[in-house]
Amino acid sequence: MSVQVKIPAVGESIASGVVSVWHKKNGERVSKGEPLFTLETDKVSTEIVAEIDGVLETKAAEGQEVKIGEIVAVINDSASGAGPAVEEKEKPEATPPEPARPQKESKDSEVLSPAVRRIIDEEKLDPATISGSGKGGRITKGDALAASQKREAKAAPVEPAEIIEPELSREQPSDGRVTRKRMSPLRRKIAQQLVMAQQTAAILTTFNECDMSEVQSLRAHAQEAFTKKHGIKLGFMSFFVKAAVAALKTVPPLNGRIEGDDFVQNNFYDIGVAVGTERGLVVPVVRDADKKSFADLERDIADFAKKAREGKLKIEELQGGTFTISNGGVYGSLLSTPILNPPQSGILGMHKIMERPIAVNGAVVVRPMMYLALSYDHRAVDGKEAVAFLVKVKEGIEKPNTLPIDF
């Protein structure tokens, strides 16, 4: 019995991935539950394991892009034991049938398949010089291709004119001023997804700013007791998650998505929180954020950040988000226009807190301010709704007592 190894579904917005490395090679025996290869997508890398014991037959190369559902290997649970026996049985049958037939005649055009004949004619090969590995010594397509490659390999050193050193020197100057290297499979996938998002949605960004004074004061006042009670620090992200949920309830379209000619409205609040890692940006999802306490939110976010850094995020932890929050402020970003996380309709961008002079009741005062950015799919959300969303978020941050404070 054999089992096909297929690429599993890894998220509603992911159509393909990259086989980054095979942990088991073609022809090796594998055990059930043993990692076969690592699959990389723009969201996460994950190990695909064997479903049964058996011998592995790979059908995809390392670095190859594969689609969801594509067969990349086969595991034959009887291959290791049956292989030699089958060979022994076939050998007596393969050699006796035509003992008197000369070798050259067995390779005549009468026994060559159309595919083999085409390769031989195009490459101008001599069938008599090719050793056939098929039944009865017949030449297979693989034999013909191998003979062609072998001939080219032998001929290559004789033609020094084909050496491409001048071209390489232009790409990588000897003075070291330029270094060229191939993008990693994950980075290439991220690039493809970002371009796809720009091409498939009508992305527009609107801005606002919020005064962080009240949140900073509340956080400083409650920090010691909060940390002692819950064993984790109270950060800013939990405030923004709560404020975003309140705003999504006010402007429901931002919590939905477009599917073909339909609009799907989500009546739950699974908020993606973007986390930067050395390998790229990932967006783990906080489930039912509207039902969680501040402590639960901070704990989930901290746990996701740790897993992301260690590369231990599970695929299911990245699936099904309805809205995303990205905090470029931790890197010093003052203002940006975040790109949508398909198929979502909105993403909120947080930024660096900076003291700036602002007018309050006719007087100029210095306050800790943060710019907010909302990128949204204009096909699903109108400008008025987008502005209303940011105003609601601003209200929640500047007047945190309007949020469901539970500490």
CA atoms within 13 A on the CB side of 158: 5
- In the structure encoding, which two tokens stand for residue 69, read together? 């559902």
DSSP 3-state of 285:
strand
CA atoms within 13 A on the CB side of 282: 30
- For CA atoms 307, 310, 314, 320, give the dihedral sign: positive
- As a whole number of angstroms, the distance between CA 301 and CA 285 comes to 9
Q: From the candidates 108, 288, 382, 406, which is the catalytic residue?
A: 382
Q: What number of other Cβ atoms are within 10 A of residue 359's Cβ?
A: 8
- As a whole number of angstroms, the distance between CA 281 and CA 276 comes to 5
- As a whole number of angstroms, the distance between CA 225 and CA 231 comes to 10
Q: What is the DSSP letter of 10?
A: -
Single-letter amino acid code for the residue at 313: L
SS3 per residue for 141-188: HHHHHHHHHHHHHHHHHHCHHHCCHHHHHHHCCCCCCCCCCCCCHHHH
- For CA atoms 20, 21, 27, 28, give the dihedral sign: negative
Q: What is the DSSP letter of 406?
A: -
- As a whole number of angstroms, the distance between CA 267 and CA 250 comes to 12
- As a whole number of angstroms, the distance between CA 140 and CA 132 comes to 7
Single-letter amino acid code for the residue at 209: E
221 counts as catalytic: no
Q: From the candidates 290, 296, 303, 378, which is the catalytic residue?
A: 378
211 counts as catalytic: no
Mark out the alpha helices in 255-352 (DSSP H runs): 294-310
- Mind telling me the catalytic residues? 378, 382
